[in-house]
Amino acid sequence: AQELLQKISEKCFKKCITKPGTTLDSSEQRCVAMCMDRYMDSWNLVSRTFSNRLQ
Amino acid sequence: AQELLQKISEKCFKKCITKPGTTLDSSEQRCVAMCMDRYMDSWNLVSRTFSNRLQ
Amino acid sequence: AQELLQKISEKCFKKCITKPGTTLDSSEQRCVAMCMDRYMDSWNLVSRTFSNRLQ
Amino acid sequence: SQKAQLQQQIHKLNDVCWDLCVDKPREKMDGRTETCLCNCVDRFVDTSLLVAGRFQNLINKHQ
Amino acid sequence: SQKAQLQQQIHKLNDVCWDLCVDKPREKMDGRTETCLCNCVDRFVDTSLLVAGRFQNLINKHQ
Amino acid sequence: SQKAQLQQQIHKLNDVCWDLCVDKPREKMDGRTETCLCNCVDRFVDTSLLVAGRFQNLINKHQ
């Protein structure tokens, strides 16, 4: 899971924090949380689709 | 050759499939084939040029 | 330091050489030198800021 | 190991397909994004098979 | 080793923050770029902690 | 091994120079693209040498 967490942090930082300020404001926090949930949805969907092709 | 094939797949997928559909249509297939040939030409040229500099 | 040198070469090549010619002209050389100095400044600042957060 | 290699491929696929299909993250995964992700994986596999097949042909010709 | 892993993380951070904060390299590092780099590192760490915390919550819920 | 490291450098170079020089893949490699690829490799090597040289100078100064 270590690599997944690193990927999420990097992808979601790039999507949500375009002008880093002195704190992570609430809209950035919400964006990161949503982005993380979607990234894991995507990961699950991609894994399933890929596994189906391997069979 | 494993790494070369992975690089080609990734680079040519990005160049040729911008809106993935339900099949790889014939124009996408042609684009991938052409892209692969050019990537290998490029690889050969780059290797040769780099080797010349090392001597 | 090997990896730092590789990163600098790649980042500064991309920033400074947009149309590679038959030589590295003097303005490209100046750009690469400046870019290298700034990349090392950045590296030092990032290391320091990150270390502060780890404590 | 083979499991680690498979995980690696899924990381790569998710990386490429996320960049291609997801613009702004939303409250829920919508149908269009899901379709794009599935098609992206399938077409990526098609592309890899096409590339591997052409490569095999090249090797056979040169033997 | 742990030192190598730390170095790796600094390479990654510098990579991301350089792309975000530095446009054209200049004669000197100006104050705005310095502030951007420091904030970038701190917000990246915040993001990683937020992500790790949510992940831990998910695991706890499923146990 | 040294051969593997060399291969790795060629992968990296081809990656960078392909992105810089090849827009849409065509039927044949045209002369302009070939020139761009060769110059790209040579200027990348020049850049690496310049960077390594400046770094060596820095180390010498600090000793």
pLDDT tens for E20-33 read 999 888 899 999 99
Q: Has residue A39 been placed in a domain?
A: yes
Domain residue limits at A11: 2-16+25-50
Domain positions in chain E: 2-61
Overall CATH class of domain D2-61: mainly alpha
Exposed/middle/buried for residue E1 (C-beta within 10 Å: 0-12, 13-18, 19+): exposed
Question: Which residues of chain B neighbour F11 with C-beta distances below 8 Å?
Answer: 3-4, 7
Residue A32 reports pLDDT greater than 90? yes
Supply the angle between the helices F31-61 and C2-16 in degrees, to the nearest 10: 130
Put simply, whether E49 touches A (Cβ < 8 Å) is: no
Tell me: the pLDDT tens digits for B4-55?
999 999 999 999 999 999 999 999 999 999 999 999 999 999 999 999 998 8
Q: Has residue A55 been placed in a domain?
A: no
pLDDT in tens, chain D (63 residues): 888 888 999 999 999 999 999 988 889 999 999 999 999 999 999 999 999 999 999 889 887
ipTM over 0.85: yes
Tell me if residue C9 falls in helix, strand or coil. Answer: helix
Q: What phi-psi label fits residue B35: left (phi over 0), alpha (psi between -120 and 50 degrees) or beta?
A: alpha
Place of tokens 């904030």: E39
Q: In whole angstroms, give the CA distance from residue E53 to residue A5.
A: 10
Place of tokens 């700034």: C38
pLDDT of residue E54: 95
Best mutation target, B9, B18, B27, B34, to test chain D (most D CBs within 10 A): B9
Put simply, whether E24 touches C (Cβ < 8 Å) is: yes
